[in-house]
Structure 1
């Protein structure tokens, strides 16, 4: 099973944002992505990072993954399948659709101290916005 670490960041709130995705394939191979997201808030970037990871899974026909995020907001929204804030609803809706298409994909919260690779990638992605 893949272990995927995601993080979103923005330089300003809102500001240029980026998604960092680190994928441990479990066979000694890793993939990493630093994806510029354009202007958005930090929380929106966290949702967008998860969505980007799910798109990568779909493109590669990866149907089993443990996806780790250091965003409690994203983790709880996915778990409850609900968010109150209107700005996050489109992201959550698409995330839930993508998760249903996976054979076995789940999202879990981890401390940010264990998500450093994705954090660094998200910050690198912000630099690509300019």
Structure 2
């Protein structure tokens, strides 16, 4: 099983944003800091989840545990529903990718347990401020 720690960050609402993804499986670790175009923090959380799932697919993982400190994201994925219409396409894409794994879980963790992804997300925001984004 691969464990995927994800975090989104935004310097403004909306503002320069970034996604931090920290994956580990066995003794291997992967770190990704991805600058994003300007968006809100919640949007960045959803994009971090999408990017993390895509990276897990690329690595060929079959079973993935996603850890996030975003209650909005975790609740939306667990309920497979979100009221905010602007997040629905992102949620649908997340659910579609999750369903392609043999097993894929998401759980909420406190921010203090998500430090690695948080640092990576903040690093990505700095890159976005410097004009680099996806």
Asked if these proteins are the same fold (TM beyond 0.5), I'd say yes
- Over the aligned positions, Cα root-mean-square deviation in angstroms equals 0.7
Give the superposition deviation at 1:62. Answer: 1.1
The CA distance in 1 between the partners of 2:54 and 2:2, in whole Å, is 14
Structure 2 partner of 1:2: 2
What are the ranges of 5 or more consecutive residues in structure 2 without an aligned counterpart?
none
Partner residue in 1 for 2:63: 64
TM-score normalised according to structure 1 size: 0.96
C-alpha separation in 1, matches of 2:59 and 2:112? 28
Deviation of 1:92 after TM superposition, in Å, equals 0.1
- Give secondary structure in 2 for the equivalent of 1:84: coil
Deviation at 1:37, TM superposition (A): 1.1
Establish whether residue 92 from structure 1 lines up as the match of residue 81 from structure 2.
Answer: no
Partner-residue secondary structure (3-state), 1:101: coil
Secondary structure at the aligned position of 1:77 is classed as helix
**What is aligned with 2:117?**
118
The runs of 5 or more residues in structure 1 that have no matched partner are none
Greater mean deviation of Cα atoms: 52-61 or 118-127: 52-61
- TM alignment of 1:15-26, pairs within 5 A: 15-26=15-26
- Residue of structure 2 equivalent to 1:74: 73
**TM score, norm. by length of structure 2:** 0.94
Q: 1-side partners of 2:63 and 2:106: how far apart?
A: 11
Partner of 2:37: 38
CA shift for structure 1 position 25 = 1.3
* Matched position secondary structure for 1:12: coil
* CA positional deviation for 1:128: 1.1
Question: Shift of residue 19 of structure 1?
Answer: 0.4
